[in-house]
Structure 1
Amino acid sequence: MKKVIISDLDGTLLRSDKTISEKSINILRECKNKGSELIFATARPPRAINQYIPSVLKNDIIICYNGALVLKGNDTLYKKEISRNVILEIIEKAKKYNLNNICIEINDKLYSNFDVTDYFGNVPNEVIDVRELDFKEAFKVILCTKDSINKNLIKELPAECNAVITDNGTLCQIMHAEVSKWNSIQHVLQHLNYEASDVIAFGDDYNDMEMIEKCGIGVAMNNAVEELKSVAKFIAKSNDEDGVTTFLESNNFIYVN
């Protein structure tokens, strides 16, 4: 049976050490060989996806920035960015909640006004007062804190924004109001001539909520947030137990035999 398999990366397909097991690689490769579409839908930027995906799993379409950018090879299928003026409003609102650590993703480059190592590891970025940047639009703003982000902030953000709190409440990821993984998936399905009922989707965090709820088979990882589990049709084993591919080869959903 041909299917569209859509998987989040961090906390889902990637194990805690940011690797994919040989077992998972082999099963996903077999799925592709049998004709299934394999798509990764992640909050990550393009530059931070390919380094974790082995060449045998490289796929034509990737969904980046929680859906703000969809790439097919070097071509852009869809993009939606936030204007500079709106971003400056976001920064002012964040100050009210003592959220002063700001990151901005512009053209596959990360800018921040602080050292991001504690949040994202040793990733390339330019440290600068982001208010001084000369740009028109950006794919995403990330507010970072060691504490838990106050959800009331989301209510006060400009109407042009869509925000989701992830990573145990330490990150607030802000995109254009029309951006979500689910919205970008709809563009991809139209491009591929598939229906939502043809999709099996895997996720673990709040930014996967709509995708898991609306795709044909929505699967939450065992390590997922409880709210996601409550809308999923199935619960898979954890990301550290190869939950995605264990589910795909289970008796109920055999995509590899």
Structure 2
Amino acid sequence: MRFQALATDYDGTIARDGVVDDATIVALERLRASGRRLIMVTGRELDDLIRVCPRLDLFDLVVAENGAVLYDPTDKLEAVLSGGPSLELVNRLTAAGVPDISVGRSIIALWKPNEVEALEAIRDLGLELHIVFNKEAVMILPSAVNKATGLAEALKRLDLDELDVVGVGDAENDHSFISACGYRVAVANAIPSLKEVVDLVTEGARGEGVQQLVDRMIEEEDQLVSAQRRRTG
């Protein structure tokens, strides 16, 4: 077994409108039964993820809040990997009338087109934060936090190397963790900039594409290894 784990985004990758369909669940169960590890890497806040995804038990570890939180579904323990959200910034954005602000363990989330207001507030307050996009979502995090840093911590705990991991996603915030993986995949509905830098674009979108990827990992892994060697050789 060359690739020992699959690291996958949630929304737009295994889930459509926040829901993972039955066929994708079966594919993920099949991957686990093959002896491989399964890691979720998502921008969602942990409480929200627990609410919408009843099958977190399929995952060895969950990286939530775009790399800021690590969660073990087996023992339900969580670790915050960065500092908490800036309440000063939250208050500033609220006073400015920015709607639909969500605050997690570390993340501050809002929606386009309010990123300009957020950037100005970060600058005016002198905060060391950065903005990450996930299609229409806008996420504000400590400057050193992204999906790649969260995945690195998860792999450390699972005693896995990044080169032994297949990464799959669909959006801007998936670039960092997918680039770190040994084999890089975008589902068919992914943004063009992600499709340009991966080893494989699935024929199917969202869960269907992940099902196809699982089939290849289990039944045609030698083809993935050959593609990896061409890229790194």
| Unmatched runs of 5 consecutive residues or more in structure 1 | 107-137
What is the CA deviation profile of residues 34-67 of structure 1, one whole-angstrom value per residue up to 9, with x for unaligned ones?
Answer: 2111111111122222344354853341111111
Query: Shift in Å at residue 237 of structure 1?
Result: 3.1
Rounded to whole Å, the distance in 2 between the matches of 1:233 and 1:151 is 37
Which AA in structure 1 matches 2:84?
I
Which AA in structure 1 matches 2:82?
K
Confirm or deny: 8 A CA contact 2:163 2:183 kept in the other structure: yes
Rounded to whole Å, the distance in 2 between the matches of 1:175 and 1:189 is 21
RMSD: 3.1
Confirm or deny: 8 A CA contact 1:247 1:253 kept in the other structure: no
Query: Shift in Å at residue 88 of structure 1?
Result: 2.1
Is 1:166 the counterpart of 2:134? The answer is yes
Q: How does 1:15-94 map to 2 (within 5 A)?
A: 15-16=16-17, 18-55=18-55, 57-72=57-72, 73-83=75-85, 86-89=86-89, 92=92
Is 1:249 the counterpart of 2:209? The answer is no
Q: Report the TM-score when normalising by structure 2.
A: 0.78
Confirm or deny: 8 A CA contact 2:204 2:212 kept in the other structure: no
Query: Shift in Å at residue 23 of structure 1?
Result: 2.4
Give the 4+ runs in structure 1 shifted more than 6 A. none
Identify if the C-alpha distance between structure 1 residues 100 and 228 changes in structure 2 by more than 3 Å, giving closer, same or farther.
Answer: same
Rounded to whole Å, the distance in 2 between the matches of 1:52 and 1:3 is 27
| Residue number in structure 2 paired with 1:117 | none
Identity across the alignment (%): 21
Rounded to whole Å, the distance in 1 between the matches of 2:212 and 2:129 is 37
Q: How does 1:63-212 map to 2 (within 5 A)?
A: 63-72=63-72, 73-83=75-85, 86-89=86-89, 92=92, 100-101=98-99, 103-106=101-104, 138-145=105-112, 147=113, 149-150=115-116, 153=119, 156=123, 158-168=126-136, 171-212=137-178
Which AA in structure 2 matches 1:76?
E
Identify if the C-alpha distance between structure 1 residues 89 and 51 changes in structure 2 by more than 3 Å, giving closer, same or farther.
Answer: closer
Q: Report the TM-score when normalising by structure 1.
A: 0.72
Query: Shift in Å at residue 102 of structure 1?
Result: 5.2
Rounded to whole Å, the distance in 1 between the matches of 2:195 and 2:140 is 23
As a proportion of its length, which structure holds more strand?
A: 1
Find the residue that maps to 1:82 and give its secondary structure. Answer: coil
What is the CA deviation profile of residues 63-99 of structure 1, one whole-angstrom value per residue up to 9, with x for unaligned ones?
Answer: 111111001232234421335xx4424764x69xx77
As a proportion of its length, which structure holds more helix?
A: 2
Query: Shift in Å at residue 24 of structure 1?
Result: 1.8
What is the CA deviation profile of residues 224-250 of structure 1, one whole-angstrom value per residue up to 9, with x for unaligned ones?
Answer: 111212222211234356101212213
Identify if the C-alpha distance between structure 1 residues 161 and 90 changes in structure 2 by more than 3 Å, giving closer, same or farther.
Answer: farther
Rounded to whole Å, the distance in 2 between the matches of 1:101 and 1:184 is 28
Which AA in structure 1 matches 2:98?
N
